[in-house]
Amino acid sequence: MFASTTKVLIVDDMSTMRKLVLKACNQLGLVNVEQAEDGVKAWEKIAASPEPFGLIISDWNMPNCTGIDLLKRVRSTANTKDTPFVLLTAERDTAQVKEAVEAGVDNYIVKPFNQETFAEKIGTVFQKRFGKTG
């Protein structure tokens, strides 16, 4: 699992959802967490951050800049292209999943999800990226 010092960015236009995802991160030991309310503000944080983010968890449907647009921007920028990226969505649309995979998403979580599912999905991302469990 990601180290507790991993810098995490939560992106969602709904404040209560950001709160709930933060709680889920904290329960995994991820305590170094920042938040942004849409893709534009998220990119501003990413660009301005002195150290790189180690994990981005973003909602799909947001005003100004959607999660998929943010993902594409992250993947097309040299110093962020390898950042682990997880998308959250309320929809289970196969075309959407395909688009996300093609854009380079690491994993995809359908809302609502419980702590167990969240831990499993984030754990899978870590394993895929760093070849380690736990």
Partner 1 sequence: MAKVVVVGVETNISDWIEKYIPKEQLMLVSTEEAFNGAIDGQLNEEISAVICGTEFSEISANEIAQSLRMLNGSLEIYFVSSKQEKFDTTQLGKDGIKTCFLFPLDEDRMAEELVRIRSKTTGERLFQTVCFADLAPGETLDFDIFLYMPANKKYLKLVKKENSLSSSQYQRMTVNNRQKAHVLLSDVSKFYDFTAKHLLSVNSDSKISETEKREQLKKSVRVLLTDLFSASEDLATLSGRRSTMANAKQIVRKFIEKSGQVDIKNAINAQVGEQNNGDAHLTNLSVYASLFSLALGIGEPGNMAIAGLVHDLGKDLLPTQIKHKFPENMTSSELLEYEKHPHESVQALKRLNVPLTDDIIKAVSQHHERIDGSGFPMKLSGRYISGEGQILGIADQFDHLTSTVEGRRTFSPLEALERIEQTGKFDGGYIKDLKDLFIDKEENSEGSQDIQQTAATHKEVIDVESSKKEPKAS
Distance between CA 24 and CA 125 in Å, rounded? 15
Looking at 16-24, 44-52, 97-105, 122-130, which segment touches partner 1 (CB under 8 A)? 16-24
116 burial (CB, 10 Å; 0-12 / 13-18 / 19+) is exposed
Please check whether residue 9 is in contact with residue 56, taking contact to mean a CB–CB distance below 8 angstroms: yes
Q: Which of 3, 31, 90, 101 binds partner 1 (CB under 8 A)?
A: 90
Distance between CA 17 and CA 49 in Å, rounded? 23
Distance between CA 105 and CA 87 in Å, rounded? 7
Residues 19-78, interacting with partner 1 (CB under 8 A)? 19-20
Shortest approach of partner 1 to residue 113 CB, angstroms?
Answer: 7
Q: Which is nearer to partner 1, 15 or 127 (CB)?
A: 15
Q: Which of 27, 49, 63, 91 binds partner 1 (CB under 8 A)?
A: 91
Interface contacts to partner 1, rule CB under 8 A: 14-17, 19-20, 90-91, 111-114
